[in-house]
A = this chain, B = another copy of it.
Amino acid sequence: MSQPTAAMLVIGDEILSGRTRDANAHLLAQKMTGIGIRLVEIRVVPDVRETIVAAVRELSARVTYLFTSGGIGPTHDDITADAVAEAFGAAIGVRDDARAILESYYKPGELNEARLRMARIPDGARLIDNPLSHAPGFVIGNCHVMAGVPAIFAVMLEGILPGLAGGPPILSHSFRVMMPEGELAGPLGTVAAAHPQVSIGCYPFFRLTAGATLILRGTDPEALARAADDMRAMLAARTDHIEETPPGAVTENAE
């Protein structure tokens, strides 16, 4: 079974200007890893129609699933829906199903022309539910168009996850040692070369003394366990202080 792939397209001047620190790509990355989909690229682009169209075309052709965040609100700079429609050669207009959702949410008279823009959905697209603020996202082709506001992005993503075809979950096994990575690098390369099925990364950190976390990733539990055995032996010959995190545990890196 080959592993499905994904790309994330973050749309918004506010990320590129440094005003806002994007949170959506990191959440997507964690969720994709959890269901065995390999995220192969994150790209952040400005609110420029040609740029969005080109990025959607290029990325959607290259991956199993494309996800976008941002640019689907009611204001003049919200151009994602139109750009994605153009990328897929689809017509776009206010759609009855999306309008009905907005009508049921807003009080009479509140659904003005600007808000009605949020019911612009490309022909043939499937709506993505938004239990928080109701304006829907949509799926066209392999492209999942979601909101930029992190809480809304998160709730839309939770809604679509069960419908994605994941691969074997990506398991992870990590070791944390208080040794500089420069002293581990040689024997680490040997362990990595002996286990081509497992992706092994080394992420140094700095405390009062130097340390490193070694992460082993793969989809085959037995290959992963064998690589972890070799790694443990290699490390034990060099240090007494090893913290080991077997598959399944989630860690947050603040380093």
A255 to B150, CA, bound (A): 8
Contacts of A33 in B (CB 8 A): 17-18
The contact string, 1 if C-beta is below 8 Å from chain B, for chain A 17-32, is 1111110011111111
Q: Are A77's CB and B32's CB within 8 A?
A: no
Q: Are A182's CB and B20's CB within 8 A?
A: no
Q: Are A217's CB and B185's CB within 8 A?
A: no
The secondary-structure label for the interface of chain A is mixed
A187 to B21, CA, bound (A): 28
Q: Which residue of B lies closest to A116 (CB)?
A: B182
Q: How many residues of A contact B (CB 8 A)?
A: 70
The contact string, 1 if C-beta is below 8 Å from chain B, for chain A 196-237, is 000111111110000000010100000000000000000000
Given the known inter-chain contacts A43-B41, A112-B186, please indicate yes or no for A149 contacting B77, CB distance below 8 A. Answer: no
Contacts of A161 in B (CB 8 A): none
Q: Are B29's CB and A170's CB within 8 A?
A: no
Q: Are A77's CB and B202's CB within 8 A?
A: yes
The contact string, 1 if C-beta is below 8 Å from chain B, for chain A 110-137, is 1011110110000000000000010000
Contacts of A133 in B (CB 8 A): 206
Name the distance in Å between A50's Cβ and chain B's nearest Cβ: 12
A29 to B151, CA, bound (A): 23
A44 on the B face (CB < 8 A)? yes
Q: Are B19's CB and A253's CB within 8 A?
A: yes
A214 to B199, CA, bound (A): 44
Name the distance in Å between A140's Cβ and chain B's nearest Cβ: 23
Q: Are A189's CB and B29's CB within 8 A?
A: no
Q: Are B17's CB and A29's CB within 8 A?
A: yes
Name the distance in Å between A199's Cβ and chain B's nearest Cβ: 7
Given the known inter-chain contacts A151-B206, A206-B133, please indicate yes or no for A182 contacting B39, CB distance below 8 A. Answer: no
* Further 13 A-B residue pairs, CB within 8 A, beyond A42-B44, A76-B193, A115-B182: A13-B199, A16-B29, A17-B29, A18-B26, A18-B29, A19-B251, A41-B43, A47-B201, A76-B188, A76-B189, A77-B202, A112-B182, A114-B185
A-B contact pairs, 8 of them (CB 8 A): A18-B30, A19-B253, A20-B253, A42-B42, A74-B182, A75-B189, A76-B192, A115-B185
